[in-house]
């Protein structure tokens, strides 16, 4: 799970979809239910999983701008969306998809968001969204992003920010030590300055409430069991590799934990979803 390969994002897509908080997703759907058309920007879109998870809850005509800095992931997003749709028309600039009675126009924007999201915010936008991204950015980045969307009065639906809570079954003697080191690795610079990690959702909530947004958050944990063994194994390997990079836990302990965790019966990995709406003029 090092880096963000399309294969890793494929592995987590079903778990991500099951984890999304349904009550908050329904609140997002209700907020736009009277609209015929919606323009959505998805930051750090990866291979397009957020669009595939959200489109059926949004109006019949949608225009998505999918933004990522990784051209391979944008190409993977295009291919996966064509495969997912009932019908697809590709042109040089857009993809026009038919899916479940909806018409979804998709444009792709290759952009490095490390200096801010301004490049992604041109033109008509009704909803900003992003999944599994805000825990990578810094507190400073989140503050600036909150100012950018407040200036444009843009609602935000942010999904699957890592909350820091993990519970593995059965417990292992090294769980606490491993999680503490993993959290320190989470706070490392991921290209945006020291990463907000598990603080991302609360920092975003606070920054947006200060700017007059009404913000709701709700848990969206992965609850993984025997049928998601491949994802559990990848998580165990990824966490062990991250902890090894910190140098804080002995190689022997890491390897014992990794082997036990690859065979875990299940685990719960905490995330938070957030829906923020501007309320003041």
Interface contacts to ligand SAM, rule CB under 6 A: 4, 9, 16, 44-46, 49-50, 68-70, 73, 112-114, 131-133, 136, 191
Tokens found for residue 167: 């519970």
Burial 180-216 (b: 16+ CB within 10 A, else e): ebbbebbeeebebeebbbbbbbbbbbbbbeebebebe
CB of 67 to ligand SAM, least distance (A): 7
Closest C-alpha to 58, from 25, 22, 23, 82: 25
Cβ distance to ligand SAM smaller for residue 4 or 157: 4
Residue nearest to ligand SAM (CB): 46
Cβ distance to ligand SAM smaller for residue 69 or 103: 69
Cβ distance to ligand SAM smaller for residue 113 or 156: 113
CB of 280 to ligand SAM, least distance (A): 29
CB of 129 to ligand SAM, least distance (A): 9
CB of 154 to ligand SAM, least distance (A): 18
Element (H, E) at 29: helix 22-31
Cβ distance to ligand SAM smaller for residue 70 or 166: 70
Tokens found for residue 239: 């966490």
Closest C-alpha to 121, from 91, 151, 97, 141: 151
DSSP string for 263-277: T-SEEEEEEEEEEEE
Closest C-alpha to 12, from 132, 188, 114: 132
Cβ distance to ligand SAM smaller for residue 160 or 264: 160
Burial 99-121 (b: 16+ CB within 10 A, else e): beebebbbebbebebeebbeebb
Closest C-alpha to 273, from 202, 179, 224: 202
CB of 274 to ligand SAM, least distance (A): 14
CB of 36 to ligand SAM, least distance (A): 26
Cβ distance to ligand SAM smaller for residue 75 or 176: 75
Cβ distance to ligand SAM smaller for residue 2 or 279: 2
> What 3-state DSSP class applies to 132?
coil
Residue 4 phi, psi dihedral angles, 5° rounding = -130, 75
CB of 204 to ligand SAM, least distance (A): 15
């Amino acid at each position: 799970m090092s880096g963000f390969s399309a294969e890793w994002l494929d592995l987590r897509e079903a778990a991500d979809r099951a984890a999304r908080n349904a009550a908050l997703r329904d609140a997002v759907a209700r907020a736009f239910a009277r609209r015929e058309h919606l323009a959505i920007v998805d930051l750090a879109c990866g291979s397009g999983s957020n669009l595939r998870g959200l489109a059926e809850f949004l109006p019949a005509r949608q225009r998505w701008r999918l933004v990522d800095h990784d051209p391979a992931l944008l190409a993977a997003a295009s291919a996966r969306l064509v495969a997912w749709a009932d019908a697809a028309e590709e042109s040089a600039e857009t993809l026009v998809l038919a899916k479940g009675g909806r018409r979804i126009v998709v444009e792709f924007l290759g952009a490095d968001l490390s200096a801010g999201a301004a490049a992604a915010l041109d033109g008509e936008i009704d909803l900003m969204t992003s999944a599994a991204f805000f825990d990578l950015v810094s507190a400073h980045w989140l503050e600036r992003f909150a100012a950018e969307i407040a200036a444009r009065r843009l609602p935000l639906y942010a999904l699957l920010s890592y909350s820091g809570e993990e519970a593995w079954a059965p417990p292992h003697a090294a769980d606490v030590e491993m999680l503490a080191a993993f959290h320190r690795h989470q706070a490392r610079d991921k290209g945006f300055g020291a990463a907000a990690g598990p603080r991302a959702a609360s920092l975003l909530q606070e920054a947006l409430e200060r700017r007059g947004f009404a913000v709701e958050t709700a848990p969206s944990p992965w609850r993984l069991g025997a049928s998601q063994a491949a994802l559990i194994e990848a998580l165990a390997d990824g966490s062990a590799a991250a902890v090894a990079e910190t140098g804080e836990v002995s190689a022997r302990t890491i390897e014992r934990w990794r082997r036990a965790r690859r065979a875990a019966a299940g685990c719960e990995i905490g995330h938070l979803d957030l829906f923020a709406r501007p309320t003041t003029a």
